[in-house]
Structure 1
Amino acid sequence: AMLTRSSIGVVALLASSVVMLPGVSQAQTRVEEVVVTGQRQAYRSGVPLQSTPQSITVISAETLERVGVTRLTDALDLSASVARQNNFGGLWDSFAIRGFAGDENLPSGYLVNGFNAGRGFGGPRDAAGIERIEILKGPNAALFGRGEPGGSVNLVTKRPAFEAAGTIGVRVGEFDFYRGELDWTGPVVGDRVAVRLVAVYEDAGSFRDTVQSVRRAVYPSVFARLGARTTLTYDLEALRQEIPFDRGVPSINGRLDALPRSRFLGEPGDGPVTADVLGHQLQLQHDISGDWSLLIGASRRDTDLEGFSSEPELAASRQRLFTDGRSLSRQYRFRDYDAEHVVLRAELSGRFMVLGGEHRLLLGADRDAFDNSQFFLRFRPPALSSNPSAQQGYVIDVLTPVYGRFPPPTPPLQTNRLDEQRAWGVYLQDHIRFGDRLEVRLGGRFDDFEQTGTNRATGAVTRFGDTRFSPQVGAVLHLTSGASLYAAYGEGFRQNFGANAAGEPFAPEESRSTEIGLKASWGGLSGNLALFSLQKTNVLASDPSNAGFSLAIGEAESRGVEVDLQGRLPGEIDLWLSWAWVEAEVSKQVIDAGTGLLIRPGDRLINIPEHRASLQLARTLRLAGREAMLGGAVQHSGERLGETGSAFELPAHTLVRLFARWSVTERVEVSAFLDNALDETWYANSYSRLWLQPGAPRTASVGLRYRF
């Protein structure tokens, strides 16, 4: 049930009738300040952040809009604990938290309003419609179930309010960037039913030659009071993105600057890859009493990704670029990926006193069904030993590219597979407060899961099932009213897709996570210091005896320190500071599943810098009697491994961003943004020395917003 042409037309009509919202706005802030009658978040027990035994970073919509962020990946850059990973030619979000990412052949998973929602193929997530981003670091498997030990990302969407308000605006920028947004909320049935509509239309060029993208999306939501103690919410996500597949630029003879960062080495004639999303969320909350509440929810998210691409061949035995420094041998691919994800859940939460301790209890169960269908055609250039012609190698000259020089080859079938995962789980968490000093959290989750893999080309079927128990324990010691120490330990797992050469399905990745930290607040500032250690086993690696197959034998570990500090300094200056030192490395010798290169114990994990930092300062002032804001941000990323199993590295980079806004009238606001103000040459991520994603050069944009 992908987006139909008629629904896309509705999206285009709603969004293109809009003029856009720029980055930050008092108008938008006022929309957010309208009192919203919402529901509690699942997997939460109402415990304040200061009393939670884990590090949690919250990025508000105001923070995102202040700097003009429009993509989830750019938003996560604000947290130093999160590092970008291979983004599949710009077609999905991929990130690592505390050094660990998930399956590199799938998008990174994230939650939307507590529902698992990031596992499909819906393209990069837009920041529109997001009220806040919660980066829940540390072990969360005792509640959420399957996931990475470094943490989870939860997107909390904007919800309806019972006072009518809205914003509309436009933003234009260099490289033919045009974006429009609408955000409106208000009542439709007195004080019983309210709605909200967020719509986006974006038509953007790029600093990359010939690359252009189009995005259309609507995020409507409904809130209804069914009774004095019962509420219902419904959220819809409908989105279509058309994005060319872009593997970036290669390094040549070890030189990253051998080609301009604008050089596109695919084929414009391949056209864009289209990503569609249609998602629904429904939640019913009933407050049994002042202390007890029942939450029942369901979600369904269908995604589809389809299109052609021309990509550099990675195998040295097939790649002519390694011999002459200019002839890039390429693969030609067609993908049709579909995913269907359904989640059901029910949760009871309450508070009571027993033996002098205040208990906040969570008891819940959920059912998860995920179908991953992949139809994949691939042409590969022949081995150089056969002395193929330029056409046979589907070659492009990287120094003087001529697009369309050769007709696309006919790609044979590579994969026609359906993987079906079914899982259910029950979880229990008790957060106990003993007096004013000590709080203890005990939790555990039992999961029963099964996976069926069907090779539709051969008819072969593999099945795997197992059960897992994921415990978690934590404690918080309050030193003063504004400072506390905490510690936590948790275990988890994540099911691997696919099967080995014998047709046997892979065992899940298993993980352990330990964290200790200090939380403090003083004046207008609040901060967190955390030390962590993570271990993972059953990581997929290449089978040295069977080319093209993998084994679940890899092991990795990560350790590090984080510092996060936010708040207001004297002089009306807002501060955001995040710094992390992460040492993530392999702990068992294996052969990489993607490149076939040997990985030794102590080798670093790809795209994980040891040091990352993010600093942002913004000052509010008066200009011609009206409120204005000036600010700047600096983001630094250290050197990173750019290719697994080798010494190839991406250089460190430091990016400077400047931003400003001014309320011209009560209803009109203008804004301006300058990204990469120093025009730094940088690389966002890589998979190999032939797949490097260059970052954007200095880019300016301006916006106009109207509040109604």
Structure 2
Amino acid sequence: MPAVFPSRLRPLLQLSFMLSLSASPLLIPVSWADDAAARRSYQVPAGSLSAALTRFAGLSGVNLSVDPALVSGRSSQGLSGEYGVEEGFARLLAGSGLQLQPVGEGAYILVPAAEGSSLQLAPTSILGANDETGGDVYAGGQVARRGSQGLLGSRDFMETPFSMTTYTSEAVKNQQARTLGDLIASDPSVRATNPAGGRYEQFTIRGFSLFNSDVAYNGLYGVLPTYTIDMEMADRVDILKGPTQLINGISPRGSVGGGINVVPKRATDKPITSLTANYASNNQVGGAVDVGRRFGEDNKFGIRFNGVKQSGDTEWDHQSVDRDMAVLGLDFRGERLRLSTDVGHTERDTDAPQERVQVGANARVPSANDVHRNYAQPWSKARTKDTFGTVNAEFDVNDSTMLYGGVGARKSNHDFLRHAVSVTNDAGDFSVQPRDFTRDENVRTATAGVRNWFHTGPVSHEINLAASYFYMDFENGGARYAAAPSNLYNPVETLTPIRPTRQDAEVYTENRFSGVALADTMGFFDDRLLVTLGARWQRVKVDDWSNDVKGDTAYDEEKVSPSGGVLFKATDKLSLYANYMEGLSQGKIAPSTSVNEDEIFPPFISRQVEVGAKYDAGSFGVTAAVFRIKQPAYETNAVTRVFGPNGKRQNVGVELNVFGEPLNGFRLLGGVMYIDSELKNTTNGTFDGNRAPATPKYNVNLGAEWDVPNVQGLTLTGRGIYSSSQYLDQSNDKEIEAWERFDVGARYAFKVDEKNITLRANVENVADKRYWSSAGASDDSEPGLTLATPRTYLLSATVDF
């Protein structure tokens, strides 16, 4: 122990380690220029402050002496990215009331910060404030720098060999996003494929279907509600493009275009009390409450509650939506152990929910401009109830090894009285055939893993080993009723169905997915080159029964899927990457519109190759990617009405995204995606070379925010969305036109009696255009046209106490 140490520190634990990086920001005067030559990349997970300092000092190669009493019970948000030594320590110590004191070359001690001192940070590429669960927020506050990557943990976007965007809770609030479908309007790679006023939400990523069942909750599949996910529960939303089986395992419905992960809210050290009143046209009113507190020694315990109640009529005649949500999150952050649990319940009642419009073989694509009334019957309804919960844990075995795991469960009851809309002629006639449909679901899911950091000579390693298990059983039943005529352009109200003409078979299905994954992220040249190699063994087991008779389409298959990624930091601002991802997906299920309804098809394999670049300008970021995804194509034969595989489809595309604040007070969020989607190896070559259905060549989303210079707190917003034309079928005979939508808005933030108040007003589809926004999804079992939502007004007032 150096003699310069205070005598009271001599008998205490000394934490010593090694590192090499650069830059500065501390309470002590340090030149950033002197530190710049030592900048390098670090990955320090969130956890106890003691463990974070130990890991960082060991990686950086400096000696640090710490009085355990100073750090006991304190936590750190960790860090990810390029830092100088003192800059990195400053990030880890932010808000702790502690600072470094240099005691020699490469040697420091930890001492309490002087009273009245303030942490001075020079400009850096890490901008924005830390949010306590999501790491640094990028300039502008709409996108987080770090996102959850399942097996690989939480990483900075500049160190991720994948295309990924993480939206913050601030973006959710300012967009007044009520559901996941509202939030994805900012992303050109994602499109909603079901009506906003429908029974459920569904999306495409890079042209491939993504169901709500495939949206993860804190890394666990199948926990969130099946049909609609309320955004008030989300602290942030990670959208990862491309097959995600390596990092997240097989998803319940086998999505291959990408994955979405919803991260729950946590209590922060600053108390939270937020009340919001909201209105959506035509007559939906409601409110939301968000309360968070930390308590106990060193704020170890946290509680966060979010509740929502909203009901009323929508812009469509005789349609109303009533939604309730309550989510409670509890967490504990100890020196080495971190625990959290989330329990939620949601209910949604929709009267006259819209369906996709199917187009018969002898009918042309209907005119969306001529659809002015709700074609859903007033007696149709959708009632959903979902109760879910998760428990997650992390434990630092030592400074280089962490154990983690999570379990989740959900129980859902769904009750629908619906009818399909299948237009049979150019006049828009269709037959209303009522169907009473119930679905009860039970889900149990779990994951466990170990993460270890070490060096072999000059090469750093991050080894991840994880196992996952997913179980879901569901039972479908119902009845059918006598048909009656109606028309898309002039809907005819029919009698409420009473006496069934046919009882549907009771279908019971069990899904069991299990897997084990191993990955190693190796860092070369001071982690400027990161190479991730991994593989996941997956087993898919599906059994089904119809009226207690076991079906003959059950299967039990397994496969090892390799994946890998390479990222090279060409400069401090530019990262280049490439990846190969492969995954096994659950087979498709024949839809109710086919003659082989509920038939289950075997699993299939999807493959992606992607190269890209990411540019971090500090105040704004730009990402670009070129990708190719291959998987089997499915269709319902227009003549036989048999659903099944027919050839393969290949999506080759280019993405360009921008986010951040390129000019002070001016923010951008959005981008463009181009896809060349081609069918191959179809039966008898009939459709070879055709464009895959429901896949526009171009998607463009671009939003902007401008802080009015002379009016403090006032921000004007605007957004444009465009999709080019889409084919409805593999033959490319039926096509919907390109469309565009424009949104405008404003918000005003001010203070009254120390209370922060924010008023928001948005108008979606300001031109009130009628158009088909989607032709479904080319790999979807139930294709059909999605009618755009009319002009919608959104108003809210939030008071933060």
What TM-score bracket applies, with the shorter chain setting the length?
Answer: 0.7 to 0.9
1:610 Cα deviation from its structure 2 partner: 0.8
1:505/1:167 CA distance change after superposition, 3 Å: closer
What are the within-5 Å matches in structure 2 for residues 249-648 of structure 1?
254=364, 256-257=366-367, 260-270=370-380, 272-313=381-422, 319=424, 321=425, 325=427, 327-379=429-481, 393-398=483-488, 400-405=490-495, 410-436=500-526, 437-456=528-547, 458-460=549-551, 462-496=553-587, 506-537=601-632, 539-542=633-636, 549-590=642-683, 600-621=687-708, 626-648=712-734
Comparing 407-416 with 517-526, greater Cα deviation is found at 407-416
TM-score in terms of structure 2 length: 0.74
- Which residue does the alignment assign to 1:75? 183
What are the within-5 Å matches in structure 2 for residues 227-238 of structure 1?
227-238=334-345
1:685 Cα deviation from its structure 2 partner: 2.6
What are the within-5 Å matches in structure 2 for residues 47-62 of structure 1?
47-62=155-170
1:216 Cα deviation from its structure 2 partner: 0.4
User: Aligned letter for 2:377?
Assistant: E
- Which residue does the alignment assign to 1:664? 750
Distance between the aligned counterparts of 1:78 and 1:503, measured in 2?
34
1:468 Cα deviation from its structure 2 partner: 0.8
Contact persistence 2:212–2:226 (CA under 8 A): no
1:505/1:329 CA distance change after superposition, 3 Å: closer
Distance between the aligned counterparts of 1:481 and 1:507, measured in 2?
46
Distance between the aligned counterparts of 1:640 and 1:408, measured in 2?
39
1:200 Cα deviation from its structure 2 partner: 0.8
In the alignment of these two chains, the number of paired residues is 643
1:151 Cα deviation from its structure 2 partner: 1.5
1:48 Cα deviation from its structure 2 partner: 2.8
User: Aligned letter for 2:455?
Assistant: M
Distance between the aligned counterparts of 1:561 and 1:52, measured in 2?
18
Contact persistence 1:113–1:154 (CA under 8 A): yes
Cα deviation code 1:342-392 (max 9, x no counterpart): 11111111211013111111111111112132214335xxxxxxxxxxxx6
User: Aligned letter for 2:219?
Assistant: G
Query: Are 1:676 and 2:765 matched, yes or no?
Result: yes
Contact persistence 2:511–2:542 (CA under 8 A): yes
Contact persistence 1:528–1:563 (CA under 8 A): yes
User: Aligned letter for 2:764?
Assistant: D
1:282/1:630 CA distance change after superposition, 3 Å: same
1:212 Cα deviation from its structure 2 partner: 0.6
Distance between the aligned counterparts of 1:448 and 1:413, measured in 2?
35
Secondary structure in 1 matching 2:554:
strand
Secondary structure in 2 matching 1:77:
helix
Distance between the aligned counterparts of 2:414 and 2:339, measured in 1?
32
Cα deviation code 1:449-484 (max 9, x no counterpart): 321111126454653111111101121122111112
Unmatched 5+ stretches in structure 1: 1-31, 380-391, 592-597
1:570/1:349 CA distance change after superposition, 3 Å: same
Distance between the aligned counterparts of 1:450 and 1:565, measured in 2?
41
1:635 Cα deviation from its structure 2 partner: 1.2
TM-score in terms of structure 1 length: 0.84
Query: Are 1:240 and 2:240 matched, yes or no?
Result: no
Unmatched 5+ stretches in structure 2: 1-128, 136-146
1:204 Cα deviation from its structure 2 partner: 3.2
Distance between the aligned counterparts of 1:690 and 1:426, measured in 2?
34
Contact persistence 2:195–2:355 (CA under 8 A): no
Secondary structure in 2 matching 1:263:
coil
1:305 Cα deviation from its structure 2 partner: 1.6
1:87/1:344 CA distance change after superposition, 3 Å: farther
Query: Are 1:166 and 2:255 matched, yes or no?
Result: no
User: Aligned letter for 2:624?
Assistant: L
1:90 Cα deviation from its structure 2 partner: 1.5
Distance between the aligned counterparts of 2:165 and 2:597, measured in 1?
44
Contact persistence 2:148–2:155 (CA under 8 A): no
User: Aligned letter for 1:423?
Assistant: F
1:86 Cα deviation from its structure 2 partner: 4.0
Secondary structure in 2 matching 1:143:
helix
- Which residue does the alignment assign to 2:35? none
1:250 Cα deviation from its structure 2 partner: 7.5
1:246/1:470 CA distance change after superposition, 3 Å: same
1:405 Cα deviation from its structure 2 partner: 4.8
Query: Are 1:220 and 2:328 matched, yes or no?
Result: yes
Secondary structure in 2 matching 1:76:
helix
1:55 Cα deviation from its structure 2 partner: 0.9
Contact persistence 1:164–1:185 (CA under 8 A): yes
Contact persistence 1:276–1:304 (CA under 8 A): yes
- Which residue does the alignment assign to 2:95? none
Comparing 62-71 with 120-129, greater Cα deviation is found at 120-129
1:57 Cα deviation from its structure 2 partner: 1.2
Distance between the aligned counterparts of 2:170 and 2:499, measured in 1?
49
Secondary structure in 2 matching 1:132:
strand
Contact persistence 1:634–1:656 (CA under 8 A): yes
What are the within-5 Å matches in structure 2 for residues 94-173 of structure 1?
94-101=202-209, 107=212, 109-117=214-222, 122-146=226-250, 147-173=254-280
* Percent identity for Structure 1 against Structure 2: 21
Query: Are 1:693 and 2:786 matched, yes or no?
Result: yes
Distance between the aligned counterparts of 2:293 and 2:369, measured in 1?
52
Distance between the aligned counterparts of 2:405 and 2:501, measured in 1?
47
1:502/1:145 CA distance change after superposition, 3 Å: same
1:34/1:449 CA distance change after superposition, 3 Å: closer
User: Aligned letter for 2:763?
Assistant: L
- Which residue does the alignment assign to 1:385? none
Secondary structure in 2 matching 1:480:
coil
Distance between the aligned counterparts of 2:193 and 2:541, measured in 1?
28
Secondary structure in 1 matching 2:214:
coil
Comparing 676-685 with 34-43, greater Cα deviation is found at 34-43
1:128 Cα deviation from its structure 2 partner: 0.8
Cα deviation code 1:208-261 (max 9, x no counterpart): 111111000111100123x42112100112100011332266889646447744
1:52/1:339 CA distance change after superposition, 3 Å: same
Distance between the aligned counterparts of 1:176 and 1:88, measured in 2?
16
Distance between the aligned counterparts of 2:588 and 2:419, measured in 1?
26
Cα deviation code 1:247-297 (max 9, x no counterpart): 266889646447744412232123x21011111010111111232211121
Larger radius of gyration, structure 1 or 2? 2
1:131 Cα deviation from its structure 2 partner: 1.3
1:402/1:449 CA distance change after superposition, 3 Å: closer
1:117 Cα deviation from its structure 2 partner: 2.6
Comparing 411-420 with 293-302, greater Cα deviation is found at 411-420
